[in-house]
Structure formats: C-alpha cells, structure tokens
Amino acid sequence: MDAKELIARRVTKELHDNMIVNLGIGIPTLVANYIPDDMHVLMHSENGIIGISSAPKEGEEDKDIFNAGNDLVTAVKEAFFCDSAMSFGFVRRGMIDLTVLGALQVDEKGNIASWAIPGKWMPGMGGAMDMVNGAKKVIVAMQHTNKGIKKILKKCTYPLTGAGVVDMIITDLGVLEVTKEGLVLKELAPTVTVEQIQEQTEAKLIIPDVIGSMI
C-alpha cells in the first residue's frame, strides 16, 4: 500500500453512515475511493452541489455539473444544487460533519496554513477558510514532511487558513490528535517507531501509554 492510499484508507475510519463530508484536493480526494459500499456519505462540493459523485461515463457528461477543480462530475440522485451563498451558508451553519484537507503546515495549537507561501505562491484560499471554520470536524490528511522539510510545527510560519481549527492529522507516519495540551500520538503506521515520527515532527508529541496501529 503506498503512502497516499494508507492515509486515505485511514481517513475512512472517521466516516460514519449519514455523514455530510467535504473533501479537499489531493490526497483527501482519494478518500472517496475507499468508502464502504453500505455507508451513505453525502459529498459536498463548494461550488454548489450537495451530493457530488464520480466522473461521468463517456457520453453522459453534463456541462453544468462540475466540481471546484473544473472537472465534469455526476451527482447522486438525492443531490441538491444551489448558488454559492447557500453552499457556504450550509458550511457556516455547521451542516458539514467532516472536512478533510491538505496543508502546507499544521501546528500544535491546531492552526493550519494551506493557501499561501508569501512572495512565492499565492493562488488564493478558495473555500478552505470557510470549510475549516464551519465543519464540525477538521482532518488534515497529508504526507508527514515535504521531502524531509517538516510540516508539523510548534507554530505555523505561513499565513493561516484557520486558527485552532484542526482536530486530527493523518499522515503516512501516523495519526495525531490535537488537544489543549498539544499533539497526542494516537496511532503509528506499520514499521514506524515513536522516535522516527518525533524526529520528523517539530512539535513535541505527547506519547500515551497505548499507541494504536494505523491499519
């Protein structure tokens, strides 16, 4: 199992029947591939679809059914289409049970930075600021480091997407829970040791007596 699949599969353990979920781009998008068939999860797409589904079959494309990445998609039978004010009203109102998104940096206070590297990369924040604010639970799903550069820090240095909003971090090395005391190591990926994950993490991890396995 590669790192991305490991992360995506672990995220699905946080899903429950009847949830409404928003998946960000990158690894989070992969989560949709591993949802159990018998679980009803409604996917919210911020561009105005509550009930987005997979890519259309050839010949069944509808130019007015697309995702936030400009790809044509399909919608489930119970889907609702709305304008962007209602779509984000839905988010702000707390109707999203879970959002899963990537990040450039996360820190021990649950701060997340995902939309800008000053002077280098400034594409805009999309719906991420709204999502981390409105969703009941926020999971960051990402590679633990960026080619060795640490991403889980004592304090984010890039502009924040949200302050104190992250609940859980799921990476290729393990699962961390954000608590008032700091980041608690809940689970480890196969073959990864406590020392190894700490070495790849700037923030000091809180190590409980019992640590679970990611799979």
Partner 1 sequence: MQNKIIDAKSALSVIKSGHTIMVAGFFDGGSPEFLLKNMENHPARNLTLITNDSGMDGRGIDKYMHSVEGMISKIYINYIGRSSASQRMLAKDPDSVVLVPQGNFAEKLRAGGVGIPAFYTPVGVGTVIEEGKEKRVFDGKEYILETAFHADVALVHAYKVDEYGNCYMRRAAKNFNTLMAMAADYVIVEAEEIVPIGNIDSDLISVPGAFINAIVKIESEGK
Task: Read off the DSSP letter of residue 205.
Answer: P
- Cα-based torsion angle of the residue sequence 34, 37, 38, 40 in order, rounded to the nearest 10 degrees: 70
DSSP-H helix ranges across 107-214: 128-134, 194-199
- Alpha-carbon distance of 27 to 185, in angstroms, equals 21
- Whichever of 32 and 129 has its CB closer to partner 1, that residue is 129
Interface contacts to partner 1, rule CB under 8 A: 45-49, 62-66, 68, 70, 75, 81-85, 87-89, 91-92, 111, 122-130, 133-134, 159-164
Amino acid identity, residue 68? A
Find the catalytic residue in 5, 14, 46, 195.
46
Q: How far is the CB of 121 from partner 1 (least distance, A)?
A: 9
- Whichever of 69 and 208 has its CB closer to partner 1, that residue is 69
Contact predicate 168/139, CB 8 Å: yes
Residue 58 among the catalytic residues: no
Q: How far is the CB of 103 from partner 1 (least distance, A)?
A: 14
Report phi then psi at 72, rounded to 5. -70, 140
Q: How far is the CB of 11 from partner 1 (least distance, A)?
A: 23
- Whichever of 34 and 88 has its CB closer to partner 1, that residue is 88
Mind telling me the catalytic residues?
46
